[in-house]
Homo-oligomer: A and B are copies of this chain.
Amino acid sequence: MRLTAAALAMLLAGCSVSSTQERGAWRPMPIPGATEPSQVIANSAPSDWREIAPDNLMVMELPEGRVVIELAPGFAPVHVANVRAFARGGWWNGATIYRMQDNYVAQWGNGDAEVALPAGVVQRPPAEYERSLAGLQLLEIPYPDAYAGTVGYADGWPVAFDRAAGLAWLPHCYGTVGVGRDLAPDTGTGGELYAVIGHGPRHLDRNIANVGRVVEGMSLLSARPRGTGDLGFYQADRGETAVPIRRIRLASDMPAAERPRFEAMRTDTAAFNDYVRGRANRGGTFFNRPAGGVDICNAPVPVRRKS
Contact = CB atoms under 8 A, between A and B. Distances in A.
A99 to B, nearest CB: 13
A45 interface: no
Nearest to A130: B289
A102 B22 contact: no
A266 interface: no
A141 to B, nearest CB: 9
A232 B2 CA distance: 60
A43 interface: no
A282 B13 CA distance: 32
B205 A149 contact: no
A25 B24 contact: yes
Contact of A18 (B140, B218, B291, B297): B140
Query: Nearest 5 CB-CB pairs, A to B?
Result: A24-B24, A15-B15, A144-B144, A14-B22, A143-B146
A285 B16 CA distance: 35
A229 interface: no
Among A15, A143, A185, A288, max chain B CB count under 10 A is at A15
8 contacts: A24-B26, A144-B145, A146-B293, A146-B296, A183-B285, A203-B279, A203-B291, A203-B298
A146 B295 CA distance: 6
Among A8, A29, A142, A198, max chain B CB count under 10 A is at A198
Contacts of A145: 144, 146, 293
A287 B29 CA distance: 35
A61 to B, nearest CB: 19
A180 B226 CA distance: 26
B146 A173 contact: no
B142 A18 contact: yes
B22 A27 contact: yes
A307 to B, nearest CB: 20
A257 interface: no
A39 interface: no
A115 B64 CA distance: 36
A285 B182 CA distance: 10
A47 interface: no
Contacts of A5: 1
A206 interface: yes
A120 to B, nearest CB: 27
A219 B22 contact: no
